Amino acid sequence: MDTTKVAKTNATTAATAQKPNRAGAVAGWADERLGLATAMKKNLRKVFPDHWSFMLGEIALWSFVVLLLTGVFLTLWFTPSMGEVQYNGSYDQLRGIHMSEAYASSLRLSFDVRGGLLMRQMHHWAAMLFVASMMVHLLRVWFTGAYRKPRELNWVIGCLLLILGTLEGFTGYSLPDDLLSGTGIRAADGFVKATPVVGTYMSFFMFGGEFPGESIIPRLYIVHVLLIPGLLLALIGAHMLLLVYHKHTQWPGPGRTEKNVVGFPMLPVYAAKAGGFFFIVFGVTALMGALLTINPVWKYGPYDPSKVTAGSQPDWYMGWPDGALRIMPGLETHIWGITISWNVMLPILILPVVMFTILLLLPFLDAWITGDKRDHHLLERPRNAPTRTALMVALMTMYGLFWIAGGNDIIAIKLHASINQITYFLRVAVFVGPVIAFVVTRRWCISLQRKDNDTLLHGYETGIIMRSAEGGYTERHLPLPASRAYSMAARDRDPVLDGHDVDEVDANGIPAPTGGRLAALRHRLRTVWYADNVQKPTPAELEEGHHHAEHEHELQAPVEGHAADGHQFDGHHLVEDEHLRSH
């Protein structure tokens, strides 16, 4: 019985309910004004599943917060102006040199503001972490099938975040107006000018006249500190809201199904772990800022359009289109008094757009080919979707080869190789490499599927070699623990393709009229998608496998109870009823 409301005294004032604790009081005050209790009721103890790979997106989130914090610090001193000044700061080697205010204020931040260099380096390292963790997070989401319905739109938002993050990086490292970043803008001017019809106009509008002018730095600055960060913030907000609404995907396992989510509550465990992880990401960037020099603009000198340094390269995430640009043959069409620069247009203006469009459409492509319209909340192991895994590995290979091409000069120097031959090799490799990667990955996945089946049917390898009475040797297999076996077997069977598309069969089982060329293409793709996949054992096969194992056990019966070899205690199964050899 609730006794708190019972009067405790005989005084004349009315009895009141026991005072709530302090957190409750604050929550009450807020709820009377904001009415958040209804929304918070479920969310405060919202369950998040645990897995190390779910941390990758978190790195991206926290490094973005670090970028905001360090970026605000930098804006307090940085002057986004191309006005010419004479440098009179602390850095001896450049004193007296004429340079833009942007470069001079970058030097001031590095040498005359305490903690300025640290913040600059942390900002740059956090930007690297931001883009890198987004990419690895994207790979995790793809390889585990987490992008499937109902999460396709969050994939699209994630892709937009990736491209915006990349642009944010480019606009950011262009701001100091040093020789390296100016060279990057110089090349960007060349890209813009290669645009058909309107190229020169776009270039003149961008630079406020002829390159380099004095408008580009202030314009890039406002894009860098307001426009793109605003979009990033909004999209990150949407990304997180959808994450909360859909609830996080989880790995299949004991007690974990498509219809539930198992893990720790947001308050306190997940809030503490995620909050603590923010400080760890922040701390690691501080460590990098302290120990690892990045973008030492004072060594490059101010931008001068008649100078360049050897080994000029963009930041790593811009490397792959730069690589495509390097290995592209010099094709240009001169016709009817116009010039079409295929050598710039194809690798820089068209290829990235095509690649990005493919990336955006991947979930929809997958859904269209497989025809799978169900919701998916359980993740799949990469091996259990060989074509999906191989597709991304092929794209990664292509990316990697373009990226290598972006460093062909450095590779030539470090490996004492011919830059010409590296370039000729890569021209072919960017097309052949992905195909090889696709085939190898696919077969690799299928082999792993076979191995899983063997483990399910015959148990795991114990490493114990048995000698039979006849002198033959066999390795002893033991069944997996129930939870491991359950997790391993928790996957869908591929749909049966018997020549007819499942969708194209009407209620009476009569094949519908073929849907034309598109349907035929889809059917062919679907056949390829599932081709050669190994299905998990059927219940009958499993039954037989276990029967076989029992038979084997009988053969080995004489040694049962004498297994004092220690292998029972390898952590793979329970040992409660097993005893060490007593004789």
Q: How far is the CB of 138 from other proteins (least distance, A)?
A: 21
Q: How far apart are the first and last CA of the chain?
A: 63
422: CB partners within 8 A, 6+ apart = 408, 411, 412
In three state form, how does the secondary structure of 154-207 look? Answer: HHHHHHHHHHHHHHHHHHHHHCCCEHHHHHHHHHHHHHHHCCCCCHHHHHHHHH
Q: How far is the CB of 437 from other proteins (least distance, A)?
A: 25
Task: Please give the Cα distance from 464 to 39 (Å, whole number).
Answer: 57
Task: Please give the Cα distance from 176 to 110 (Å, whole number).
Answer: 11
Q: How far is the CB of 106 from other proteins (least distance, A)?
A: 14
Bridging pattern class, strands 338-340 and 333-335? antiparallel
Interface with other proteins includes 574 (CB under 8 A)? no
Contact 202, 196 (CB under 8 A): no
Q: What is the DSSP letter of 565?
A: T
Q: How far is the CB of 572 from other proteins (least distance, A)?
A: 15
Nearest of 476, 481, 479 to residue 560 by alpha carbon: 476
47: left (phi over 0), alpha (psi -120 to 50) or beta: beta
Among 306, 507, 516, 557, binds other proteins (CB under 8 A): 306
Task: Please give the Cα distance from 458 to 456 (Å, whole number).
Answer: 6
| Tokens 């209804």, located at residue | 38
Identify which range of 307-315, 462-470, 512-520, 570-578 contacts other proteins by CB under 8 A: 307-315
Among 16, 88, 93, 257, binds other proteins (CB under 8 A): 257
Among 286, 359, 362, 430, binds other proteins (CB under 8 A): 286
Interface with other proteins includes 259 (CB under 8 A)? yes
Among 237, 283, 511, 561, binds other proteins (CB under 8 A): 283
Identify which range of 255-263, 395-403, 439-447, 556-564 contacts other proteins by CB under 8 A: 255-263
- Phi then psi dihedrals of residue 496, to 5 deg: -80, 125
Q: Which residues 522-561 are close enough to bind other proteins by CB under 8 A?
A: 536-537, 539, 542
Contact 206, 357 (CB under 8 A): no
Q: Which residues 327-346 are close enough to bind other proteins by CB under 8 A?
A: 327-332, 334, 337-341, 343-344
Interface with other proteins includes 187 (CB under 8 A)? yes
Residue 185 in 3-state DSSP?
A: helix
Paired tokens of 112: 């005359």
Q: Which residues 385-414 are close enough to bind other proteins by CB under 8 A?
A: 408-409
Q: What distances in angstroms separate CA 212 from CA 182, 335, 349, one per listed residue?
A: 9, 29, 21
Interface with other proteins includes 493 (CB under 8 A)? yes
Interface with other proteins includes 263 (CB under 8 A)? yes
Task: Please give the Cα distance from 15 to 5 (Å, whole number).
Answer: 7
Interface with other proteins includes 72 (CB under 8 A)? no
Identify which range of 15-23, 256-264, 429-437, 503-511 contacts other proteins by CB under 8 A: 256-264
Identify which range of 265-273, 511-519, 559-567, 569-577 contacts other proteins by CB under 8 A: 265-273
Task: Please give the Cα distance from 166 to 184 (Å, whole number).
Answer: 14
Q: Which residues 203-242 are close enough to bind other proteins by CB under 8 A?
A: 203-215, 241
| Tokens 């599932």, located at residue | 530
Q: Which residues 38-57 are close enough to bind other proteins by CB under 8 A?
A: 38-39, 42, 45-47
Q: How far is the CB of 358 from other proteins (least distance, A)?
A: 24
Interface with other proteins includes 91 (CB under 8 A)? yes
Q: How many residues form the binding site for other proteins (CB under 8 A)? A: 140
Task: Please give the Cα distance from 156 to 367 (Å, whole number).
Answer: 14
Among 307, 451, 467, 524, binds other proteins (CB under 8 A): 307
Among 265, 463, 511, 561, binds other proteins (CB under 8 A): 265
Among 20, 24, 35, 254, binds other proteins (CB under 8 A): 254
Q: Which is nearer to other proteins, 164 or 194 (CB)?
A: 194
CB atoms within 10 A of CB 148: 23
Q: How far is the CB of 471 from other proteins (least distance, A)?
A: 36
Q: Which residues 10-29 are close enough to bind other proteins by CB under 8 A?
A: none
Interface with other proteins includes 201 (CB under 8 A)? yes
- For 381-516, list the strands marked E by DSSP: 460-467, 473-478
Q: Which residues 127-166 are close enough to bind other proteins by CB under 8 A?
A: 150
- Phi then psi dihedrals of residue 499, to 5 deg: 95, -25
Residue 416 in 3-state DSSP?
A: coil
Identify which range of 72-80, 324-332, 461-469, 496-504 contacts other proteins by CB under 8 A: 324-332
Q: Return the amino acid letter for 520.
A: A
Among 272, 435, 510, 521, binds other proteins (CB under 8 A): 272
Q: Which is nearer to other proteins, 83 or 511 (CB)?
A: 83
Identify which range of 20-28, 187-195, 357-365, 438-446 contacts other proteins by CB under 8 A: 187-195
Q: What is the DSSP letter of 117?
A: H
Q: How far is the CB of 387 from other proteins (least distance, A)?
A: 19
Identify which range of 25-33, 128-136, 286-294, 574-582 contacts other proteins by CB under 8 A: 286-294
